[in-house]
Structure formats: structure tokens, C-alpha cells
Amino acid sequence: MDSLYEDWDRLYAEANKLQVPRVEGEVFCFGMGGSGVACEVMSAFYPLLRDMRHADVVIAVSYSGNTRETLEIVRKATSAGKRIVAITSGGALATLPVERILVRGGDQPRYSFPLLFLPLVKMLRPELTEEVIRGVNANEARRVAGDLLSAIRGRIPVFYASIYLGLAKRFKQEINENAKYPAFFGEIPEVNHNEIEGYAHGSGLFPVVFSSGPLDEVTASLVNAKVIRISGIRDVSLLIQSAGFLSVMLARELGEDPEKLTRIPEGRKLVERIGS
């Protein structure tokens, strides 16, 4: 199982060979789960729109190509006459009238993050491509993961960030899916207006702040959080890999199979029934 994250240097090398279209102007990027979080991580490095209506380019990220919610938005974008770029391994998305970046399929989206994320970097901030690749370091990522695991044991992790909110969400997702363990994330400064009061009875929580400046440090001091300071995309690349290792380590301790999912597939079936 660890090899799925240890192999990321190979996956990034593979992703770096992909041809990507030239993208300019206002961009709306979206997807669900382990696919869509690539957009949210990218938003720290490129000003992505939150509303598709004003976009020059719409980027859809769906590893399977069959994510219902993503397909619905692509169809709306098509009707609106938007230019659409899709990052996918195939599925229904690859059959639609979009510009396709086809990646290798066969794994869970969360394990294939490099194949989904690097094309975004190459399209939107190509000068950062090599920094992303250099950030991958299995030994250092394991060390960071081990330190976090020691602190998390018996507590529920809550990840906070402002600029790097996508990274906080990624940690939460990895722990939820691989370890089948509760984890949450929150956005700074919003949490300073509500959530921090919950720590009066929050002894069972383990807060982590991904800090990019003084505002994040304020939140960290108020909830007595572990602070991880980030100076750029290279740090983010390492920490994304660390999140994978951390979640697998925690899964082992809990006796869970990181690859097995039960509630998520069942949820998909129930959603499909709503639309049928």
C-alpha cells in the first residue's frame, strides 16, 4: 500500500510527459473528492474563479470520467458555450466535446493525485512544474507523517489554513478514505469567528495549522495548534505526499484496509437512484 505513495516520483515523471493545451484568461476549475481537490490545491497558486459564468476556460477534473456531479457541470458549461478542458482517464467525460488530457487509469483518484495535479500546474503556472516534482521525497514525507501520527493518536485531527486550504482539505480526505477515521478542516479567517470557541470543550481534537503568515499564526495560538509553515509549492508537494503516508499509517494502527471503500460506493448508488 505504501508503494502507491512512494511511487509518486514516477507518477510525476509520467505526468510531466503529458501534452497540455495553452490556457489563458479567467479559469474555473472543478471536480469532486480526490479529483476536485487538485483544483483547490492549485488555487493557492493561481486565482481560480468560484463562478463558472465569468470563465474563459472551464477545467473539469474527474479521474474516472464518470462522476455524476462533474458531468452535469460540464454539460452546463457546454450549453453556455464555454471552452472546456478535461483531465480524466476516460469514462463518459472523454466522450463529450471537450479538450482532453488523458491520464492512465486503474487506481483510486487519491492515489493518482500527481496525474491530476501536474497538468493543472503545467497549464496555469508552468514555471512551477519542476518545484512540484522536486518536492516529492518519500523519506521526508514519511518522517513528517510519523510525527503527525504520534500526535493524532486517540484524537480527531482538524486542519486549518487560509491560502493553503486545499492542502488542509486533502489531509482530511486522505484520513477519511484510507483510515476510515474522522477528520475535519476549516478556513482561516472564518473559523476565528465561530469554531475557535468550540475548543473550550475540544480536548479530543488535534488542530493543525498550515501557516502562510501572521493571520494563520493567530488562529494557531488561539487553539494551541501544531503549526506547519509553508513557503511555496515545493512544501505543498511534500505535504500532499505526507498526507498519504499518514493516512496509511493510521489505517494500519486501526486495522483498516486503506483501499477498501464501502460507504462512498453505496452513497453513489443512492445518488444515482435520485436521478433515475
Instruction: Please identify which of the residues 142, 170, 174, 177 carries the catalytic annotation.
Output: 177
Residue 268: active-site member: yes
The answer to whether 177 is a known catalytic residue is: yes
- Residue 193 a catalytic site member: yes
- Residue for grid cell 444515482: 272
Taking CA atoms, 35 is separated from 79, 115, 116, in Å, by 23, 10, 7
Q: What backbone torsions phi and psi does residue 194 show, to the nearest 5 degrees?
A: -160, -65
Of 50, 193, 201, 273, the active-site residue reads 193
Any idea which residues carry the catalytic annotation?
177, 193, 268
